[in-house]
Structure 1
């Protein structure tokens, strides 16, 4: 879980000034060795660009950014975690999609001697260079780092201090030597999400200070462009809490180097990010966590003149196209819409964490166009949303009007459309303040033959940004059936009847929590349970079932997005499990 957040005042970043500079260059068509140009312009000196823009301007020019996750950082090899090898075409695509920089996480441990002199294998170093050079050749800023080494061997620094420090120094000595003549559009990041075993935050910050100082010294003394290359220093865990960012401010101040950048990560309010403890919605708690985080970044770092690169952002485990989405689509869209706004107004450059979730590396196509469109739109403007992206109509009941709450986000509501047809205000919908009501007659027409599932899609449109899609959905209360299985997994036959599963509550008769997450009755989506819509089933996982008390009956309450709930009982007897309808 990310650290505790504190409120404060947000500041506007340098992006507008930078944008005016780059627009001026484009307008007057400067050429040759002029410095006022974005990386990738023909004839432009990257070093000169960095000198003129300065650290803040360079970091602003890196917005937006993208991570090549689960590739060069995969263990033990590049393709070990299911992604194909990186290609030049991949970076061509990223550049064409509007990204200005990429972060290339690199895990070195599997390609390096674990004993002195800690030599990095030449083929691996050459492969990293090849990928870096592909990205640089596309005019992208590039960040490389020491990634999963953080928990593989760096975390043992408290008990193996001298060896860890020597290996860390040797690692960066070799990286710095390899890339010392690379253009200054290449940045180095000390270490990803630094952590140290069995330490307090105060102790961890001391170890991190030692690593960051070593990193800084090694790179600066390595010569070439490394003398002034931008270096990124993380907070402990890359956590953007005031308590963890404050020591980083002190460290950056002590190094007296203007070419330093702070880096943090953000994955949202934890219960919402993974769908646990009832965190199904991007509600006021989740929103406050986000605004407090960016406020703290603004007050703690940016207000002190320190550029900030959010090296990773997203939602934990979302989207995962190998499993049903644990975060509902509309709620995720709200999250990414607001995050883009907070980053812009605070002046933070953001790097989307993409382990495979967003871009299909084989086809070079976005897996979810609506999701990436919202992320991209939020780079420049706000979009209006609503309290839900679905209107559920029970098939067993007469259709009545349905009301949603609009969230214009400072925009003006323009009306409701179905495709190219604008619905008639008064007849098809009414608006009262922020309440949008779809009439019974319009919903009857949109529902058509009332087959289970989505019958029609309409859009609430606003004066800017993307429209908010509303799915008119027919459902009936889901029906579960009895089941038998083992602690290896229980498949519960389920007729979803057009509904969608939101969460699962699990308790014993005495009121205590039942399952592998003991601190809340609401178990984690895709970890304790998972719907299988094509297979007409809900799966209870081995992790969940093995955590149940032997012989004790657990009462499960399945919560669906229509508002329907279904109660079910599960009893474990040794290695056998029985599920019964309540």
Structure 2
């Protein structure tokens, strides 16, 4: 998976912006608020671009269009996207390694021809198209000390793009520069940064307008600093747009959610009121600053930062609630939202959604709200009697039409009872679904009067247990866990003598996928080198929080390169297994395996040890690959 350049500094930026919300009024009203002017021809054209999709990790890749793992773009892909209901496509492009020498910086003819081909396919399919300069923002970082060089290169690139496409219809839009910045500190606002960005955006507008053809009135998109939605950055962009006095300018922002929720850190595991308010305030600020005054806004990218690692970084039901609200509220604020897709959402070979429930809730958001619930997980403890289970629904203005178990429609009043928004699943129904299996045993699908379906996943579980381990290291520590059908939500680490341990030491709750990753197939939790690089020697108290509500304590001791762990589930006198031995699967996994499961052996056998070593090596290699790709875009 590719990770955008900006992710290297996103933590400081997002934390700072989250804190800044504390001093802003709810809704983040702009100083420029006035009666809304949302009936312009350009505004209507922009709204018609909803929904939008990003061709990510392709033409902005540091090599060729397949170097970041995606297949060659085809006409069939573009047509498939159109068939999914998309109305616009953003094509991120990095031109830098396709340029010749100064002073003309000629763009490679074959590359320009290839971009034209994909633009033509998209327009032939009836899509509005955005092209930009994307990771070229990297060489613009030096603008403060190399201003003449940066402006000359920027000017040369846009003169060529503008000339090449000057006769294309207005449904081809140009974007000045993706996420412009002039420092590695994504959270830093300096007057000179705003002044330099104003110069870039002004230069861009003048180049295009002077290039002839349909560029005289072509819609142009301008980014605020880092494409961020803080009020200070929106206000500075507003000043530029006001100064240019051009009726065909559009503002853009990017949105990846409340940082703590977006990456699953600081115990922010659910789409709660804080995460919801972050959406509301960000979109309100953009609306009040621009849309209400006749300047359209496009949300040029949206998603979750945790997707950089895996779509499993955030729990699935919480992702669905986030996507539902973002899509709905963006439409309410008349701002089309363009999904960032680095290849992990829409399969570019099979032309199908890898997570169809994501697509379903986003599609439904174009016409209204979807219903959901406080959770999509229902846990049934295996060693306890089955009782009625009540879950709160968030109907969002809809009515419940049916509840199904597979193809069987359940009986209202017998199998379930709905009282307002309280859904009670009756004990007899649940008993009929329970098996001896641990993990997911059934799925109940709710359909509503409007919007996407909502699925409850029923999981049979026992309290998870841990095991002691010796012989671990800072390179990769493997914590053995019998998940017993449960799922890990988050993990706390703190030093026994005080203070939070590991990265993000402003919170004891560590980032999912960065400091720890559960492996349900093999019943273990991996804690990589990235965690221990910021750990001092000593005793660390670990708390494992599970979605069932279970909390397990564990103790790790770090001494030099060695790491060991002690589980309260094992007697102190019991010998501890080696770190490699515990890497083999020992119980039924709670999720479908992503690959062939390894056959387990008795502890102490040579085969068992070698399997464990192999798994540890593969895990370390995967983590190294992820780290290597941190420089890449998502």
**SS state at 1:107 partner:** coil
Q: 1:547 aligns with which of 493, 509, 534?
A: 534
Q: 1:354 aligns with which of 325, 329, 341?
A: 341
**SS state at 1:317 partner:** helix
**SS state at 2:254 partner:** strand
**Distance in 2 between residues matched to 1:337 and 1:124, nearest whole Å:** 38
Structure-2 change in CA distance of 1:362 and 1:377 (3 Å): same
**Distance in 1 between residues matched to 2:238 and 2:35, nearest whole Å:** 19
1:114 is displaced (CA, Å) by 6.2
User: Match of 1:256?
Assistant: 245
Structure-2 change in CA distance of 1:324 and 1:558 (3 Å): farther
Report 1:238-249 matches (<5 A): 238-249=227-238
TM-score by length of 2: 0.82
Q: 2:392 aligns with which of 388, 405, 420?
A: 405
**Distance in 2 between residues matched to 1:114 and 1:446, nearest whole Å:** 69
**SS state at 1:157 partner:** helix
Higher relative contact order (CA 8 A, sep 6+): 2
Structure-2 change in CA distance of 1:62 and 1:324 (3 Å): closer
User: Match of 2:410?
Assistant: 423
User: Match of 1:504?
Assistant: 491
Q: 2:128 aligns with which of 141, 145, 151?
A: 141
Q: 2:88 aligns with which of 81, 97, 101?
A: 101
User: Match of 1:204?
Assistant: 193
1:302 aligns with 2:294: no
User: Match of 2:512?
Assistant: 525
User: Match of 2:172?
Assistant: 186
1:239 is displaced (CA, Å) by 0.8
Q: 1:162 aligns with which of 148, 159, 172?
A: 148
User: Match of 2:363?
Assistant: 376
User: Match of 2:157?
Assistant: 171
Alignment check: 8 A CA contact 2:158 2:207 kept = yes
User: Match of 2:203?
Assistant: 214
More deviation in 121-130 or 286-295? 121-130
Structure-2 change in CA distance of 1:114 and 1:196 (3 Å): farther
**SS state at 1:404 partner:** strand
User: Match of 2:307?
Assistant: 318
**Distance in 2 between residues matched to 1:514 and 1:375, nearest whole Å:** 38
Deviations 1:183-241 (A, max 9, x none): 22110000101111266343322111110000001111111111111100011111112
Alignment check: 8 A CA contact 1:145 1:192 kept = yes
**Distance in 2 between residues matched to 1:13 and 1:335, nearest whole Å:** 27
**Distance in 2 between residues matched to 1:217 and 1:324, nearest whole Å:** 41
**Distance in 2 between residues matched to 1:13 and 1:91, nearest whole Å:** 35
Structure-2 change in CA distance of 1:14 and 1:255 (3 Å): closer
User: Match of 2:442?
Assistant: 456
Alignment check: 8 A CA contact 2:364 2:451 kept = yes
Structure-2 change in CA distance of 1:526 and 1:12 (3 Å): farther
User: Match of 2:41?
Assistant: 54
Q: Which runs of 5+ in 2 are unaligned?
A: 1-12, 569-634
**Distance in 1 between residues matched to 2:125 and 2:84, nearest whole Å:** 12
**Distance in 2 between residues matched to 1:462 and 1:511, nearest whole Å:** 50
More deviation in 456-465 or 347-356? 456-465
User: Match of 1:557?
Assistant: 543
TM-score by length of 1: 0.89
Deviations 1:302-358 (A, max 9, x none): 1111111110011113275xx470100000000111111101111011100001121
RMSD: 2.1
Alignment check: 8 A CA contact 1:309 1:350 kept = yes
User: Match of 1:23?
Assistant: none
Q: 2:109 aligns with which of 116, 122, 139?
A: 122
User: Match of 2:254?
Assistant: 265
1:11 is displaced (CA, Å) by 12
Alignment check: 8 A CA contact 1:11 1:346 kept = no
User: Match of 2:553?
Assistant: 567
Report 1:60-71 matches (<5 A): 60-71=47-58
1:420 is displaced (CA, Å) by 4.1
Deviations 1:387-407 (A, max 9, x none): 010110111222122221111
User: Match of 1:28?
Assistant: none
User: Match of 1:49?
Assistant: none
Alignment check: 8 A CA contact 1:504 1:522 kept = yes
Structure-2 change in CA distance of 1:244 and 1:77 (3 Å): same
1:123 is displaced (CA, Å) by 2.1
1:109 is displaced (CA, Å) by 1.3
Structure-2 change in CA distance of 1:295 and 1:512 (3 Å): same
Alignment check: 8 A CA contact 1:384 1:467 kept = yes
User: Match of 2:462?
Assistant: 476
Q: Which runs of 5+ in 1 are unaligned?
A: 18-52
Structure-2 change in CA distance of 1:511 and 1:430 (3 Å): farther
More deviation in 530-539 or 301-310? 530-539
Alignment check: 8 A CA contact 2:306 2:314 kept = no
1:418 is displaced (CA, Å) by 2.2
Alignment check: 8 A CA contact 2:222 2:249 kept = yes
